[in-house]
Structure 1
Amino acid sequence: MNTAIDYFINLFTIRGITSREQLLNEMLRVKLTAKAMKSQKKSIQDEYQLFELMKQSTENTILGYFPGDKDFFNSIYKVAHNVDLIEFTLKLYQNDRFGQIFSPVYLTEYICRLADEAKAQTILITEAEKSLLGLKNFVDKHKSSNITFTTSSALMFMMLKLGFEGYKNVSILNQSIYQELLIGTRFDFIYSLPDFSGKIESLNDKFMSSRPDIIATQNLLGQLSEKGTLVTVLPARITFSSSSEAKLREHIMTNYQLEDIYSLPEGTFRPYTSIKTYMLRIGVVKKESVNVGYLGYDNGLYIDKAKVVGSKEFSNHEDWRIELILEDDDENIKKYKSSTLERVKLHEVAEVFRGKSILKKDVKPGNIKVLNISNITDTGIDYSEMDSIEEEERKIKRYELMDGDIVLSCRGTAIKTGVFRKQKGIVIASANVIVIRPNHRILSDYLRIFFESPVGIALIKSFQRGTTVVNINHVDIAEMEIPLLSMEEQKELADKYAKEAALFRETVAKAEKRFQEEKEKIYNRLV
């Protein structure tokens, strides 16, 4: 632990200055003053001269006015002028759950290896502050390459300029990757960790989406040299979404070469986000195959499970869900993919929504019953042990379950599903449950049967945002493709299933009763 950093932060905290941006602002002020001090031909003799130098050097910049007097500045200068700026920035933003993302050092090291493989002479790392852990080591290993960093933050731009001013092969651009780029250079290697959420306003018609990750990827592909490679990390929806993500997939397959698509280890970007992410390597030069698989972590990233798929074969896949591609040898998956049955997206035949968030303190005897994951059993839904809350009906109406709704667990350790049947009173679903309300085109029982089939389970798992723990987003699962039989065929299968299930339960009950009776006879002979 660097005590100077802690002391610097505490000095400002005492004065009520606690925001990360303001603290970085003041550390940059100290560093700019120290830089001005070195450029002085004569040494600074007293606190007043130091204070005046600071004002001349920093107050006409984006840093603005210093929030204190000369005594206060002198105290923080003595503490911080020798502090490593990058170490301070990392310390300042560590565990910032709602702000600046910093990727783990092992990810930057892996990117470094990929840049080595590319033998890149020109390298671009966008929003470089996100890769601050390990960034100096990356630069040290590529001293013969021209490296460009971008950042859209004025403070981060100043931090990177000061932090890497000793590197002659590094240039810093204050440039957003979410608008038309003003970079004349083409790069042999580009790495991007774009924002995963939000929406970019005021875009021109050049971009296929307003989503930041789509914009950034489209933008950066246009910056590749004739032998260039883009490595980017994107959220799971890039593999299956039918909206702008589908347009980007088509754009890549038509104009570029998808070289690798690997699922990153769960929790790579915690505590900033737990979203499931994929690393894509996209090149300009066409190749014969695509590497598909998972990256594992053990003192560094490594390829945990992979499969080489011919580029032509890969292009035949409707989406890029690697879980299904890796299971191509599974007989059920083979039959599903080769089937000629009509298939529809789930959102075309059902309304899909997530249940209501219920806090523990809200659970108490009340007028509204709450269906949770624990109420979904192997044999159906157990209505006897549901929690309840007290709430106005109008506030929970949109979460009310209707007869025939399918409930699907979206969190936990196992995938559980059931068909809700109308109960006395109002029942709502909790936030751990996805509700699927079929329309006139599909039967509830038929849909549940498909969900619990081997193919259905495999498809549901392919939408998981987590790996070991189930984490499914209702927007994602709405993209799932369902085989659509005629209503008569659906009813036939559902009736047959129900009949066989009833026979199974009856047979098991008889067997259990017989076993219990025979046990009693045996026990009685022992006394």
Structure 2
Amino acid sequence: MNPSIDIFINSFAMRGITSREQLLNEMLRVKLTARAVKSRKKSLQDGEQLFELMKHSTESTILGYFPGDRDFFSSIYKVAQEIDLIEYTLKLYQNDRFGQIFSPAYLTEYVCSLIDDAKAQSILIAEAEKSLSGLKGLVEKHQSSNITFTTSNVLMFMLLKLGFEEYENVSILNQSIYQELLIDARFDFIYSLPDFGGKIEAVNHKFMSSRPDVVATQNLLRHLSDRGTLVTVLPAKIAFASGSEAKLREHIMTHYQLEGIYSLPEGTFKPYTAIKTYMLKIGAVKKENVSVGYLGYDNGLYVDKVKVVSNEDFAAHEDWRIELILADDDENIRKYKTSTLERVKLHEVAEVFRGKSILKKDVKPGKIMVLNISNITDTGIDYSNMDSIDEEERKIKRYELIDGDIVLSCRGSAIKTGVYRKQKSIVIASANVIVIRPNNRVLSDYLKIFFESPVGIALIKSFQRGTTIVNINHTDIMEMEIPLLSIEEQKELAAHYEAESTLYRETISKAEERFAAEKEKIYERLL
């Protein structure tokens, strides 16, 4: 890493200027001044002339007034001579957990290979600042193609203009992809890494949602050429969520060709976000098959596992969850998908919420008991060894468990579930537990049986995020589909299950007692 970058940043930090936006602002000021110096016919005589040129070149722009005097500008100008603008920006934002996302170079390089496959002559990189790492390599490799970058951020617009001004085939648009684009151009290849969360205010009525990722995808699809391809990275919920995500899936399947859907490796966008993401490849030309799989990482992205599915078979799936599509060969999953039983989303028959986050320091003797994953056992819930906290009842009321609540572990690879039964003390669930509170359409014991079944476990695992730290988001699990039998049938199944479970436990207990007694008889003969 260039040591001049740290010197530049520290010079401003000593003056109380530490925000990333301000620091980028001042580097852009220096680079604009350097460009003005280069365009002059006469060389500058001293620092005063440099300072005046800076004021004339930058202070009437969005950059505003320089926060220092002539000598300070001269010093930072000299330091910045050895700093690459893009390298500086990436360094500046490398640990930004709450603002700008930058994708890793290997993702940009993989997109570059997809551009090669598409033989694209016209390329659009939406919100190009997110792909800064590796972006110059992409441009270098495709100098015979017309490349357009978009950005809605004014500072990033200036950065891209300065960083790529030497490339005649690159044009920069200062425009948001969350509004109708002002250009009519169509592209052979479009790449987008839209914002994953939030809501677009005053969204155009032509868009099916106010969610930025859905708006951006719908918007950019309109700008594909007759043979064009859109590659976009979206949150994994695009594969299964109802509402706007379901509308977007239908829109793609009806008007375009989903050519491929791949799960990106865990941690692709850390430290900016740990959200599970899918890469979608959508084409304007209808084809016969869809590729479904996982991308792996080993000094670059590669297709780790893939299954080619016909359009007809893919359309038969109710959603796009990769895990379930790849599990089509599993007999239980196949039976579940072809079953004629009525199915409902979990959120239609139950309230679903996550337990309360409790710090270790908060665990102390108190009247509020806390149910953790460790309390959920194979034989039921262990109420004898729960943590406790000392807290006002009104502050924990929303997390209080009631009789019949189902508790489901949401961290760790093991799926653990149990039915809570009312206790004398107040019991709440910890944040590592999802609480499912059935309504009158479904019985708790019936739901638990389904969750423990091979199909139920496979479905729950399809919602798991991560591999190192496996977790389940309660808003995801709400989209799980449950086979809905009549209440009488549910009661019958639950009673049968409980009877067989009781018989199993009694048989095991008797066998263990008999074995222990017979062992003692055998040991006695040795004395």
Q: TM over 0.5: same fold?
A: yes
What is the alpha-carbon distance in structure 1 between the residues aligned to residue 164 and residue 521 of structure 2?
85
Is 1:415–1:470's contact at 8 Å kept on the other side of the alignment? no
Is 2:47–2:71's contact at 8 Å kept on the other side of the alignment? yes
Q: Within 5 Å, give how 1:329-344 maps onto structure 2.
A: 329-344=329-344
Q: Provide the residue aligned with 2:130 in structure 1.
A: 130
CA distances 1:186-234 after superposition (whole Å, capped 9, x unpaired): 0000000000000000112100000000000000000000100000000
Secondary structure of 1:180's aligned partner: coil
One-letter amino acid of the structure 1 residue matched with residue 212 of structure 2:
P
* Cα displacement (A) at 1:379: 1.2
One-letter amino acid of the structure 1 residue matched with residue 31 of structure 2:
K
What is the alpha-carbon distance in structure 2 between the residues aligned to residue 468 and residue 316 of structure 1?
32
1:44 aligns with 2:44: yes
Is 1:290–1:314's contact at 8 Å kept on the other side of the alignment? yes
Q: Provide the residue aligned with 1:327 in structure 2.
A: 327
Secondary structure of 1:445's aligned partner: helix
What is the alpha-carbon distance in structure 2 between the residues aligned to residue 406 and residue 217 of structure 1?
37
CA distances 1:414-458 after superposition (whole Å, capped 9, x unpaired): 111100000112101111111100111111000000001000011
What is the alpha-carbon distance in structure 2 between the residues aligned to residue 102 and residue 410 of structure 1?
29
Q: Within 5 Å, give how 1:106-185 maps onto structure 2.
A: 106-185=106-185
What is the alpha-carbon distance in structure 2 between the residues aligned to residue 152 and residue 500 of structure 1?
63
One-letter amino acid of the structure 1 residue matched with residue 281 of structure 2:
R
Q: Provide the residue aligned with 1:505 in structure 2.
A: 505
* Cα displacement (A) at 1:390: 1.1
Q: Provide the residue aligned with 1:101 in structure 2.
A: 101
What is the alpha-carbon distance in structure 2 between the residues aligned to residue 71 and residue 459 of structure 1?
65
Structure 2, gaps ≥5 residues long: none
Secondary structure of 1:407's aligned partner: strand
Q: Within 5 Å, give how 1:357-376 maps onto structure 2.
A: 357-376=357-376
What is the alpha-carbon distance in structure 1 between the residues aligned to residue 189 and residue 431 of structure 2?
42
Count of matched residue pairs: 527
Is 1:414–1:470's contact at 8 Å kept on the other side of the alignment? no
* Cα displacement (A) at 1:512: 2.0
What is the alpha-carbon distance in structure 1 between the residues aligned to residue 103 and residue 488 of structure 2?
53
* Cα displacement (A) at 1:284: 0.4
Is 1:290–1:310's contact at 8 Å kept on the other side of the alignment? yes
Q: Provide the residue aligned with 1:482 in structure 2.
A: 482
Q: Within 5 Å, give how 1:279-358 maps onto structure 2.
A: 279-358=279-358
What is the alpha-carbon distance in structure 1 between the residues aligned to residue 386 and residue 270 of structure 2?
33
Is 1:413–1:468's contact at 8 Å kept on the other side of the alignment? no
What is the alpha-carbon distance in structure 1 between the residues aligned to residue 110 and residue 134 of structure 2?
10
Q: Provide the residue aligned with 1:457 in structure 2.
A: 457
Is 2:4–2:82's contact at 8 Å kept on the other side of the alignment? no
What is the alpha-carbon distance in structure 1 between the residues aligned to residue 411 and residue 381 of structure 2?
17
What is the alpha-carbon distance in structure 1 between the residues aligned to residue 525 and residue 43 of structure 2?
105
Q: Provide the residue aligned with 2:207 in structure 1.
A: 207
1:64 aligns with 2:64: yes
What is the alpha-carbon distance in structure 2 between the residues aligned to residue 518 and residue 170 of structure 1?
85
Q: Within 5 Å, give how 1:414-493 maps onto structure 2.
A: 414-467=414-467, 469-493=469-493
What is the alpha-carbon distance in structure 2 between the residues aligned to residue 344 and residue 39 of structure 1?
68
Q: Within 5 Å, give how 1:267-286 maps onto structure 2.
A: 267-286=267-286
* Cα displacement (A) at 1:45: 1.2
What is the alpha-carbon distance in structure 2 between the residues aligned to residue 425 and residue 111 of structure 1?
56
Q: Provide the residue aligned with 1:380 in structure 2.
A: 380
What is the alpha-carbon distance in structure 2 between the residues aligned to residue 159 and residue 340 of structure 1?
57
What is the alpha-carbon distance in structure 2 between the residues aligned to residue 265 and residue 506 of structure 1?
46
One-letter amino acid of the structure 1 residue matched with residue 193 of structure 2:
L
Is 1:105–1:134's contact at 8 Å kept on the other side of the alignment? yes
* Cα displacement (A) at 1:525: 4.2
Q: Provide the residue aligned with 2:495 in structure 1.
A: 495
CA distances 1:485-525 after superposition (whole Å, capped 9, x unpaired): 11111111111111111111112222222333333344444
What is the alpha-carbon distance in structure 2 between the residues aligned to residue 360 and residue 336 of structure 1?
42
What is the alpha-carbon distance in structure 2 between the residues aligned to residue 132 and residue 386 of structure 1?
50
What is the alpha-carbon distance in structure 2 between the residues aligned to residue 253 and residue 347 of structure 1?
25
Is 1:372–1:429's contact at 8 Å kept on the other side of the alignment? yes
What is the alpha-carbon distance in structure 1 between the residues aligned to residue 245 and residue 107 of structure 2?
24
Is 1:17–1:23's contact at 8 Å kept on the other side of the alignment? yes
What is the alpha-carbon distance in structure 1 between the residues aligned to residue 217 and residue 116 of structure 2?
21
* Cα displacement (A) at 1:12: 0.6
Secondary structure of 1:411's aligned partner: coil
Secondary structure of 1:337's aligned partner: helix
1:234 aligns with 2:247: no
Q: Provide the residue aligned with 1:11 in structure 2.
A: 11
What is the alpha-carbon distance in structure 1 between the residues aligned to residue 221 and residue 189 of structure 2?
10
What is the alpha-carbon distance in structure 1 between the residues aligned to residue 104 and residue 414 of structure 2?
29
Q: Provide the residue aligned with 2:76 in structure 1.
A: 76
CA distances 1:371-409 after superposition (whole Å, capped 9, x unpaired): 111111111111111111111111111110000000011
What is the alpha-carbon distance in structure 2 between the residues aligned to residue 175 and residue 492 of structure 1?
61
One-letter amino acid of the structure 2 residue matched with residue 58 of structure 1:
T
1:394 aligns with 2:394: yes
Is 1:343–1:484's contact at 8 Å kept on the other side of the alignment? yes
What's the Cα RMSD here? Answer: 1.1
What is the alpha-carbon distance in structure 2 between the residues aligned to residue 295 and residue 43 of structure 1?
53
What is the alpha-carbon distance in structure 2 between the residues aligned to residue 29 and residue 291 of structure 1?
47
* Cα displacement (A) at 1:483: 0.6
CA distances 1:68-105 after superposition (whole Å, capped 9, x unpaired): 00011111011112310000001111121111111111
TM-score by length of 1: 0.98
> Which sits farther off after the overlay, 390-399 or 504-513?
504-513
Is 1:370–1:427's contact at 8 Å kept on the other side of the alignment? yes
Percent identity (aligned): 81
What is the alpha-carbon distance in structure 2 between the residues aligned to residue 413 and residue 456 of structure 1?
14
Runs of 4+ in 1 over 3 A off after TM superposition: 518-527
Secondary structure of 2:464's aligned partner: coil
CA distances 1:237-268 after superposition (whole Å, capped 9, x unpaired): 10011110000001000000000001111111
Is 1:371–1:428's contact at 8 Å kept on the other side of the alignment? yes
Q: Provide the residue aligned with 1:263 in structure 2.
A: 263
One-letter amino acid of the structure 2 residue matched with residue 284 of structure 1:
A
What is the alpha-carbon distance in structure 1 between the residues aligned to residue 40 and residue 516 of structure 2?
96
* Cα displacement (A) at 1:302: 1.0
What is the alpha-carbon distance in structure 1 between the residues aligned to residue 514 and residue 54 of structure 2?
91
What is the alpha-carbon distance in structure 2 between the residues aligned to residue 228 and residue 182 of structure 1?
19
> Which sits farther off after the overlay, 471-480 or 14-23?
471-480
One-letter amino acid of the structure 1 residue matched with residue 183 of structure 2:
I
Q: Within 5 Å, give how 1:26-45 maps onto structure 2.
A: 26-45=26-45
